[in-house]
């Protein structure tokens, strides 16, 4: 299909909206009526047609607007994009991966022509045409990682692999769930995850690291993660927390359905060929609760998940104070009927909400 790119904002007047298409393909993260941490990895080798899992790097109606928001964040704070000196080769690897994937997966939107090291890149949605020499930084307006990730939705962490660990040595991070690349750069896998409660004791990170260290070229993996965000604010950074934190207090029972968003991260993992680095794209999808409950199964399930979530996790995810109000809203969309297994909306088979 041809994508109609939205004109919308993720700040100030928050004109962000999901179309019906975007709602139905939303990556709902709960495959059952409860949630606990797990190393929920699967192969990232496509998925159902039209789903966010189908392509290597999903492009949707928010693409152009998200890239404008990223440019605003970077203009305000260039430290959101950093690459330690030894990571430039991995940046070229990433540029190649994204350009090749997008031009193959979306030939009507992106073109890549290669004649030896002379490359010609065309990005139609953003109106960019660039001729450059692959591996020659002086032929691009930014370093290779920054250049390509200004044209790709989601955050990108580029992880060096050494000493049986992964090191956060480069990244483009402007749509993060409250963590700072500037602070975490140079940390290893356990250090940058240090603030996450419970998961260390459960052995989650030891198992996840073992899995990630063994990811091979051409065998990418993926998982979903989630949190809650008030307003469709992409840049929930610690850097700006003193500005956006107060928005959490603006929820009322009347505006909650429109303002409270479920924030889902599609995390993918690709081995990079020359550097042996691992790139970890973290793609953020937002959906308001009032849109989410138009899928009856998701309304029922989200109520049960949020209701039964351990206090520690609700606190870490930053919505403990608003949980009672969120539950009052979601309870109206849970009639107690059983739900089908898996994350899909199952609109044809799941019953509509019973009248109370």
200 binds other proteins (CB under 8 A): yes
Choose which of 121, 192, 269, 285 interacts with other proteins (CB under 8 A): 192
List Cβ neighbours of 49 (8 Å cut-off, separation of 6 or more): none
Contact 44, 277 (CB under 8 A): no
Choose which of 238, 273, 338, 351 interacts with other proteins (CB under 8 A): 238
Choose which of 71, 133, 194, 337 interacts with other proteins (CB under 8 A): 194
- Picking from 209, 229, 232, the residue whose alpha carbon sits closest to that of residue 221 is 209
Binding mask 247-286 for other proteins (x = CB under 8 A): -xx-------------------------------------
246 binds other proteins (CB under 8 A): yes
**What token pair was written down for 189?**
């896998």
**What token pair was written down for 242?**
């003193």
193 binds other proteins (CB under 8 A): yes
- Judged by phi (left if over 0) then psi (alpha if -120 to 50, else beta), residue 122 lies in beta
211 binds other proteins (CB under 8 A): no
Of residues 34 and 250, the one with the C-beta less far from other proteins? 250
Sign of CA dihedral 213, 198, 190, 263: positive
183 binds other proteins (CB under 8 A): yes
Contact 207, 226 (CB under 8 A): no
CA separation for the pair 282, 267 (Å, rounded): 5
Strands lying side by side in the sheet with 165-172: 42-43, 221-230, 260-271, 278-288, 155-162, 165-172, 81-83
182 binds other proteins (CB under 8 A): yes
Of residues 180 and 276, the one with the C-beta less far from other proteins? 180
- Which residue among 25, 222, 223, 263 is the active-site one? 223
Coil, helix or strand at residue 290? helix
Choose which of 39, 41, 72, 79 interacts with other proteins (CB under 8 A): 79
Coil, helix or strand at residue 69? helix
Q: How many CA atoms lie within 13 A of 176 on its CB side?
A: 21
Choose which of 180, 225, 294, 315 interacts with other proteins (CB under 8 A): 180
Task: Give the shortest CB-256-to-other proteins separation in angstroms.
Answer: 17
Q: Which stretch, 37-45, 189-197, 274-282, 298-306, contacts other proteins (CB under 8 A)?
A: 189-197
124 in catalytic set:
no
Residues touching other proteins, count (CB under 8 A): 27
Task: Give the shortest CB-51-to-other proteins separation in angstroms.
Answer: 35
Q: Which residues are catalytic?
A: 223
Q: Where does this chain bind other proteins (CB under 8 A)?
A: 79, 180, 182-187, 190-195, 200, 238-246, 248-249, 321
């Amino acid at each position: 299909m041809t994508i109609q790119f939205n004109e919308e904002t993720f700040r100030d007047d928050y004109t962000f909206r999901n179309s019906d298409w975007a709602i139905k393909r939303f990556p709902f993260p709960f495959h059952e009526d409860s949630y606990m941490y797990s190393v929920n990895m699967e192969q990232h080798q496509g998925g159902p047609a039209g789903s966010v899992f189908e392509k290597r790097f999903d492009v949707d109606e928010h693409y152009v607007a998200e890239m404008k928001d990223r440019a605003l964040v970077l203009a305000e704070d260039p430290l959101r994009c950093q690459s330690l000196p030894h990571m430039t080769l991995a940046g070229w690897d990433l540029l190649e991966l994204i350009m090749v994937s997008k031009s193959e997966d979306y030939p009507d939107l992106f073109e890549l022509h290669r004649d030896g090291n002379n490359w010609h890149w065309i990005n139609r949605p953003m109106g960019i045409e660039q001729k450059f020499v692959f591996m020659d930084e002086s032929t691009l307006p930014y370093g290779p990682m920054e250049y390509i990730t200004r044209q790709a939705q989601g955050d990108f962490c580029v992880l060096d692999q050494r000493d049986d660990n992964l090191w956060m040595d480069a990244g483009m991070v402007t749509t993060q769930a409250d963590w700072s690349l500037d602070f975490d750069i140079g940390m290893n896998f356990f250090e940058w995850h240090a603030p996450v409660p419970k998961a260390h004791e459960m052995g989650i990170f030891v198992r996840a690291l073992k899995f990630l260290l063994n990811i091979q070229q051409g065998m990418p993996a993926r998982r979903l993660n989630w949190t809650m965000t008030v307003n469709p604010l992409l840049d929930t950074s610690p850097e700006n927390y003193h500005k956006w934190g107060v928005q959490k207090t603006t929820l009322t029972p009347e505006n909650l359905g429109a303002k409270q968003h479920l924030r889902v991260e599609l995390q993918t993992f690709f081995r990079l060929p020359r550097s042996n680095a691992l790139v970890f794209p973290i793609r953020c999808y937002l959906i308001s609760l009032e849109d989410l409950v138009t899928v009856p199964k998701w309304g029922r399930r989200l109520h049960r998940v949020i209701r039964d979530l351990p206090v520690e996790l609700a606190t870490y995810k930053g919505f403990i104070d608003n949980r009672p109000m969120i539950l009052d809203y979601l309870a109206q969309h849970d009639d107690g009927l059983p739900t089908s297994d898996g994350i899909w909306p199952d609109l044809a088979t799941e019953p509509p909400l019973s009248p109370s």
